Amino acid sequence: MRKFIERAIEKLPKLDEEQIRALIRDLATEHERIELVLDSMNVGVLVSATDNSLVLVNKAAERLLPFTTHEWYERPVWSAIADREISDFVQQTLLNQESAHDREFTLDGNGANRILSCSILPLVGSGRIQGNILHIEDITEKRGREARLRRAESLASLTTLAAGVAHEIKNPLGSIGIHIQLLQKALQSSMDSEQIDHERMQSYIEVVNEEVDRLNRIVVDFLFAVRPIDVQLEERNLNEVVHELLEFVKYELEEAGIELVANLEEGLDPIHLDEKYLKQALMNMMKNAIAAMPDGGTLRVTTTQRGDDAILCISDNGVGMTDEVMAKIFEPYFTTKDFGSGIGLTLVYKVIKEHRGEIAVLSQPGKGTTFTITFPVPQKEQHLLGWNGDQA
């Protein structure tokens, strides 16, 4: 477009009035087309010049953002935005000459809150920075969909859980029934023979007692697994939390003859986490790893950042799992241990999902197991210095 205009300017002295008119008409049509494209987008776009004054606002931006005035042109971008938080964020980012990605803000829109995701990027042309572009997206629906999906997932796991409970309580209930019948028979025969077999009756009562305890444990575990967890997410450094946990389990690992190799990458961006729940989840995984290495071994814990993800790996060289076992480990009540409840990894899964994270497992029988947890880094700021302008 610029080249076309430059050529037109060069030729201008040779053009007659009609040709100039046609040229202006073409330019106006082109301009309208660009405006139309910008206004048809459902993403809000605000463009500022190098002095941070507003030079362009598309229709979606007008709809999404509250403005202080309709006379926004030539004013600093932030002074045109009525929302305090967004205005401060824009001012700070632009004055510090930074970029920002996907910073989330909640706007109170007549009772119904809306969530806006804002990014600020440099506008680069002809190899130099010509201003900034503020990109605004309404992610309320997206967040709602994610929450619905999480609920559907937990509902699906509730069905599995209910089936699991039904299956689990069948055995103790059956056993209680049988032992009560035996007790009745013993009572009857003691009445008939007028001789009470205390020992036998006592043993039946003991079995009934044990089974009642078992039922109680199943119910307690069930409540634990279905209780919605109320995570309080805070911006924290993942390494800090992992480090504290490792300090805590250090002695237990030592006692079990397990060498701990921790590799925590420095300079990780903070993530949103709930310290209490995350520690509980990681503790469950440590316990599983310890149980998988009865004759000792090595536990490797690493953290890294890959793009917008913070990654935590917990790896053991223990007994490992077959594919069949691996497919079921997150299911409630699934256990291969004599005294396991099979709830540990169910909680882990729930906690990681509440952190908007993902958990994956790789395992080989006899070799070991690696759990990889991926947490999203909420937003990343890049300093403009060192930014390659040609990437625009």
The residues that touch ligand ATP, with contacts defined as CB under 6 A, are 284, 288-289, 292, 316, 318-321, 325, 329, 334-337, 340-346, 369
Helices (H), ranges, 41-139: 59-64, 77-80, 84-95
Binding to Mg ion (CB under 5 A) within 78-107 occurs at none
333 or 375, CB closer to Mg ion?
A: 333
61 or 345, CB closer to ligand ATP?
A: 345
DSSP 124: E
What track of x and - describes contact with Mg ion for positions 316 through 355 (by CB under 5 A)?
----------------------------x-----------
Question: If you search the block for the tokens 């309080």, which residue do you land on?
Answer: 232
Residue number of the CB closest to Mg ion reads 344
DSSP letter for each residue of 324-385: HHHTTTTSTT---STT--S-HHHHHHHHHHHTT-EEEEEEETTTEEEEEEEEE-S--EEEST
DSSP-derived pairing of the beta strands 258-264 and 297-306: parallel
Does 369 engage in binding with Mg ion (CB under 5 A)? no
52 or 284, CB closer to ligand ATP?
A: 284
28 or 325, CB closer to ligand ATP?
A: 325
86 or 253, CB closer to ligand ATP?
A: 253
Question: If you search the block for the tokens 């002695």, which residue do you land on?
Answer: 251
Kindly state the tokens that stand for 361: 């497992």
The total number of residues shown for the chain amounts to: 392
127 or 366, CB closer to ligand ATP?
A: 366
57 or 292, CB closer to ligand ATP?
A: 292
Binding at 332: pick from Mg ion, ligand ATP, none (beta carbon under 5-8 Å per type): none
Nearest approach in angstroms of CB 343 to ligand ATP is: 4
Which range touches Mg ion (CB under 5 A), out of 150-158, 258-266, 272-280, 281-289? 281-289
Among 48, 58, 288, 370, binds Mg ion (CB under 5 A): 288
CA distances from 246 to 96, 304, 311 (A): 38, 17, 17
CA distances from 213 to 85, 174, 228 (A): 55, 14, 25
Nearest approach in angstroms of CB 312 to ligand ATP is: 14
Question: What distance in Å separates the CA atoms of residue 35 and residue 56, rounded to the nearest whole number?
Answer: 10
Residue number of the CB closest to ligand ATP reads 344
Binding at 319: pick from ligand ATP, Mg ion, none (beta carbon under 5-8 Å per type): ligand ATP
Question: What distance in Å separates the CA atoms of residue 118 and residue 45, rounded to the nearest whole number?
Answer: 10
Binding at 342: pick from ligand ATP, Mg ion, none (beta carbon under 5-8 Å per type): ligand ATP
Nearest approach in angstroms of CB 338 to Mg ion is: 13
Binding at 341: pick from Mg ion, ligand ATP, none (beta carbon under 5-8 Å per type): ligand ATP
Kindly state the tokens that stand for 187: 């009572």
Query: In terms of Cα–Cα distance, which of 98, 94, 48 is closest to 385?
Result: 98
Query: In terms of Cα–Cα distance, which of 247, 228, 245 is closest to 351?
Result: 228
Binding at 242: pick from Mg ion, ligand ATP, none (beta carbon under 5-8 Å per type): none
Chain centroid, CA 193 distance in Å: 69
Binding at 321: pick from Mg ion, ligand ATP, none (beta carbon under 5-8 Å per type): ligand ATP
| Site of interaction with Mg ion (CB under 5 A) | 288, 344
